[in-house]
A and B are shown apart, each in its own frame.
Chain A
Amino acid sequence: MKSNKIVIKNGNIIDPSSGINEVGDVVIENSYIIDVLPLSNETYSSDYKIINAKSMLVTPGFIDLHTHLRDPGQEWKETINTGSRSAAKGGFTTITSMPNTIPVLDNVNIVSDLIDRSKSEGIVRILPIGSITVGQKGKNISPMNELAEVGVIGFSDDGNPVSDPNIMKQALMYSKDLSLPIINHAEDKNIVGKGLMNEGVVSNRLGLFGADPSGETIMIARDLILAERAGAKLHIPHISLSASLILLEIYKNMDVNVTAEVTPHHLTLNENWVYGKKGEVPDYIDEDSYDTNAKVNPPLRTLDDAKDMVDGLAEGLIDIIATDHAPHSELEKKCSFAEAAHGINVLETAFSSVFDLFLNKSISINRIIESLTSKPAEIFNLHKIGKLQKGYFADVVIIDPKAKWKVKEDQFVSKSSNTPLLDLDMNGKIICTISEGKIIYKDNKFYV
């Protein structure tokens, strides 16, 4: 068989984990990287496919530790195939399958089937996350050993946080020897009640039931206390409040094994987006208000919270960016705000959203790339991905930092397009995505 050889030439290579931020080449053979930054006068034999990356950024393929693929069970929203294409278009070469599928990923059969179908139907690497409890019902712990053996990389009950502190403690202790994280959606359902959006002035004004932000901090505090007691690994998903960061900092300083992720929307949007004017506060409420595409859980918080999320990510208190990609069909959003499903479609807009934080000088490009690549690999013990190093999988993204594009409903390759960013201008565009040495997406076209 003819071997697959690619050189990505003259790109601005950014791989913070290897300390690289300079112009040069990345050399790929078959599924692996065989050289990075070879001598500048290197010539390549004619069997190399050359990709000219002049004035482009070249980074490791992005890793998303929080993806809802909806498959099996809700294939009208997304499938393994459409979700992985959406990922490739957004520069992600590794995504996860959150376990709130129907049926839930709580046993070996269903997880094995998902792994098999991920290989045949997906176009990027898809890593499954198992449920913490059987059926995500919060009662009995899932067979974590068996699930780990077939390849889950962590455990989560998604939007049904484990409410019983004893079950949570048992889950943390039981998972400890597997060294796999427990990912508990931080929300105390009792205090959040019927809450539809962040409780505050905007919920007052729109007459929407407010979700008390204490719901998040109460649960994070409890989980940190239990993780400390169990000595286990806790990963806090989609952290969204300034007060949560204070708790996180205290426990990180105590050397508790805790990590946290933040979504692009909690970094860049705020509760004013529910007004439907792209973050502006309108003079009066009109038909654009009650933007159901801005309905998400945890809800969009205040402007101050969002600023603190950016600072928290910049200084490394928040470890990584994860998308919480949550596709929903048009009808699940085209209804009253109370009826609408929670969630935002993120994979295709994620990079451009956070790239703006670099352009407005809130955060370094190194930190952004690291939190999308080597850091998620490191905290979830994922091997041979997330870095541009010899011997690593050739998962590479080429980005045009100068390109501008508009978020258009009909341009999504995801099955859904539920995002409050519709019709917004974005900066920075994914030009090419290479997964295990294969060009899967380039110049708006798919090659698989």
Chain B
Amino acid sequence: MKSLLNKSLLDIDQLNPNDIKNIIDEATSLSEKRNPMTKKYLGGKSVLTLFFENSTRTRTSFELAAKKLGSDVINFSLESSSVKKGESLLNTIKTLEAMKFDLLIVRHADSGAPYFISKNINIPVINAGDGLHAHPTQTLLDIYTIQKKLGTLKNKKISIIGDVLHSRVARSNILGFAKLGATVYINSPRTLSLWKNKLFESNNSKVIFVDNIYNALDDADVIMPLRIQLERQKQGNIPSLREYSKYWGINSQKLKIAKKDVLIMHPGPVNEGIEITTELVNSDKSLINEQVKNGLYIRMAIIKSILSEICK
């Protein structure tokens, strides 16, 4: 595999379809090994997960991925940091740079923070989610998951439902899915959509915002409801969770107009019974656990491709 050596992975938009294919091929290869050559790849490398925003699932997935490749992993989170003591982000990362980590895995509540970090230190950065902006490893694992089931994203109808405005997963997925030839449909309450329903200035016909959820669900290959944050009601974005659930919650009734073998995905964590019914989460249409499993291999592949000089 061609190495992304010494280069940060900040969002899916920096990768071309061939880069994506290489990462997925590597993930596939790692997943097929019973014991993916533990310790051999990255012995002696040290990886820091640097989480300025809480997350157990994503951090654990990265930690496990890095450990399975044989690297040492240190976890650094907001609670244990000096950020709360008023230390600047720049100071914090300069200190960490002096400790000579080989790779930083960064999550930050501010959009663009991983770009700032990557610019100011000489260590590659993987963006594990920045503000409302991007979550490229989620997109890669979603692409991997869809490809495993459907073979390709090309000409598939993938529908993203819900709070696109506040979703970094949605932004990265729209870019990534469209790049691989899918047609992405988006439906949200207008108050939780993008301004003028546009992610690009130019008309990108592969990204279609629709006013009616049924236009998004109709004949869909994949449906991805997004997590609705409880505070959206307080901010005046929606009248109530009950109303949201009634009109935007995915249930088996609404799925009738989708493809018969439609797949359900969710970036997690799920508010069961609100954006999607428990019944569907546990149904055979659901790829939610598959996403988590594939996430591990994708993250291994990314870490390996950034750090390893071994070319396949």
Counting from the closest, the 3 A-B pairs by CB-CB distance are A207-B133, A290-B112, A207-B132
> Would B11 and A338 count as touching, CB distance under 8 A?
no
Point out the residues of chain B lying under 8 angstroms from A281, CB to CB. 201
Query: Which chain A residue shows the least CB distance to B119?
Result: A287
Tell me the smallest distance from the CB of A78 to a CB of chain B, in Å.
20
Tell me the smallest distance from the CB of B69 to a CB of chain A, in Å.
26
Q: Interface of A with B (CB < 8 Å)?
A: 199-201, 203-210, 281, 283-290, 331, 334-339
Query: Which chain A residue shows the least CB distance to B16?
Result: A284
Is B118 positioned at the interface, with any CB of A under 8 Å from its CB? yes
When A201-B196, A284-B14, A290-B111 are in contact, do A339 and B133 touch as well, CB less than 8 Å? Answer: no
Point out the residues of chain A lying under 8 angstroms from B199, CB to CB. 201, 204-205
Is B128 positioned at the interface, with any CB of A under 8 Å from its CB? no
Point out the residues of chain A lying under 8 angstroms from B194, CB to CB. 204
The one of B14, B131, B200 in contact with A205, judged by C-beta atoms closer than 8 angstroms, is B200
Query: Which chain B residue shows the least CB distance to A335?
Result: B89
Is B110 positioned at the interface, with any CB of A under 8 Å from its CB? yes
> Would B132 and A285 count as touching, CB distance under 8 A?
no
The one of A205, A208, A290 in contact with B116, judged by C-beta atoms closer than 8 angstroms, is A290
Interface size on B, residues (CB 8 A): 33
Query: Which chain B residue shows the least CB distance to A287?
Result: B119
Point out the residues of chain B lying under 8 angstroms from A336, CB to CB. 89, 108, 110-113, 116
When A281-B201, A290-B112, A331-B90 are in contact, do A338 and B131 touch as well, CB less than 8 Å? Answer: yes
Query: Which chain A residue shows the least CB distance to B201?
Result: A201
Point out the residues of chain B lying under 8 angstroms from A283, CB to CB. 13
The 15 listed contacts between A and B (C-beta, < 8 Å) are A201-B201, A205-B171, A205-B199, A207-B168, A208-B111, A208-B133, A283-B13, A284-B14, A285-B13, A285-B14, A286-B115, A287-B118, A335-B89, A336-B111, A338-B109
Query: Which chain B residue shows the least CB distance to A276?
Result: B115
Indicate the member of B110, B194, B200 with the most A CB atoms within 10 Å.
Answer: B110
A sample of 14 more A-B contacts (CB under 8 A), given A285-B10, A286-B115, is: A201-B201, A207-B112, A207-B130, A208-B111, A281-B201, A284-B13, A286-B10, A286-B14, A287-B8, A287-B115, A290-B111, A290-B112, A290-B115, A331-B88
Is B198 positioned at the interface, with any CB of A under 8 Å from its CB? yes
Q: How far is the CA of A187 from the CA of B133 in the complex (A)?
A: 26
The one of A201, A206, A210, A335 in contact with B133, judged by C-beta atoms closer than 8 angstroms, is A206
Q: How far is the CA of A206 from the CA of B120 in the complex (A)?
A: 19
> Would A339 and B119 count as touching, CB distance under 8 A?
no
Q: How far is the CA of A289 from the CA of B130 in the complex (A)?
A: 14
Indicate the member of B108, B171, B201 with the most A CB atoms within 10 Å.
Answer: B201
Q: How far is the CA of A284 from the CA of B136 in the complex (A)?
A: 13
Tell me the smallest distance from the CB of B146 to a CB of chain A, in Å.
22
